Amino acid sequence: MNQSVDLTAEQWSALERGQEVRVTNSTSSLECVVIRADVYDRVKALLPDFDPKETYPAVDEVVREDWSDPIMAEYDDYESRRR
């Protein structure tokens, strides 16, 4: 998706130096970071393409012992103990 964005001269200069530029949509308050395409391509190549849900079994294994600890029952009942 290619879309034209109006940036200031300072923002364009920052991009030319390889720096990121933060922009906010005034309508939705959505904050985004603009980077050069070549920088994006390098970063994207470093990141694996995966669904975070793939990590759930490993996370469950790591925390299983702690969640099974009897003291966690107090955590589960936290709201009723809160003052």
Sequence spans of domains, the chain: 9-81
Distance CA 73, CA 77 (A): 6
Query: Residue-wise over 37-76: b if at least 16 C-beta within 10 A, else e?
Result: eeeeeeeeeeeeeeeeeeeeeeeeeeeeeeeeeeeeeeee
pTM: 0.53
Residue 32 is classified by DSSP as: E
pLDDT digits (tens, 9 = 90+) for 27-80: 899 999 999 999 999 988 998 888 888 889 998 898 888 777 777 777 777 777
Which helix (H) or strand (E) segment holds residue 31: the answer is strand 31-34
Q: Rounded mean pLDDT of 15-31?
A: 92
User: Do residues 34 and 15 make contact, with C-beta atoms less than 8 angstroms apart?
Assistant: yes
pLDDT bracket for residue 83 (50, 70, 90): low
pLDDT bracket for residue 9 (50, 70, 90): very high
